[in-house]
Amino acid sequence: MTTPQAHQAGRFVRIDQLRAVAMLWMTVFHFCFDLNHFGLIQENFYRDPFWTWQRTAIVSLFLFTAGLSQAVASAQGQGWPRFWLRWVQVAGAALLVTAGSLLMFPKSFIYFGVLHGIAVMLVMARCTVGWGRWLWPLGALAMVAPWVAASLISQYPAMEVMNARGLNWLGLISRKPITEDYVPVLPWLGVLWWGVATGQWVLRNRPSWARSGVPPEGRVARGLATLGRWSLSYYLAHQPVMIGLIGLALYLQR
- For residues 151-172, one letter each, b for 16 or more C-beta atoms within 10 angstroms of the residue's C-beta and e for the rest, the string is eebeeeeebeebbeeeebbbbb
Residue range 204-218: mean pLDDT, rounded: 70
Going from N- to C-terminal start, the domains of the chain cover 4-252
- Under the banding of pLDDT at 50, 70 and 90, the label for residue 213 is low
Q: Which of 101, 89, 196, 184 is nearest to 143 (CA)?
A: 184
DSSP-derived letter for residue 58 is H
pLDDT at 5 over 50: no
Rounded distance between C-alpha atoms, residue 66 and residue 196, angstroms: 8
pLDDT at 7: 40
- Section 98-116 average pLDDT: 95
Cβ–Cβ < 8 Å for 96, 61 = no
Q: Which of 137, 146, 118 is nearest to 194 (CA)?
A: 137
Its pTM stands at 0.90
In the predicted model, is pLDDT for residue 10 greater than 60? no
How many CB atoms sit inside 10 A of residue 54's CB?
17
Q: How much is the mean pLDDT over the chain?
A: 91
- Above 60 in pLDDT, residue 1? no
Q: Are 69 and 63 in contact (CB under 8 A)?
A: no
Question: In sequence order, which ranges of the chain are alpha helices (DSSP H)?
Answer: 4-9, 13-37, 49-75, 80-104, 114-128, 135-155, 185-205, 219-229, 231-252
The residue-averaged pLDDT of 146-152 equals 96
The stretch 122-128 carries a mean pLDDT of 97
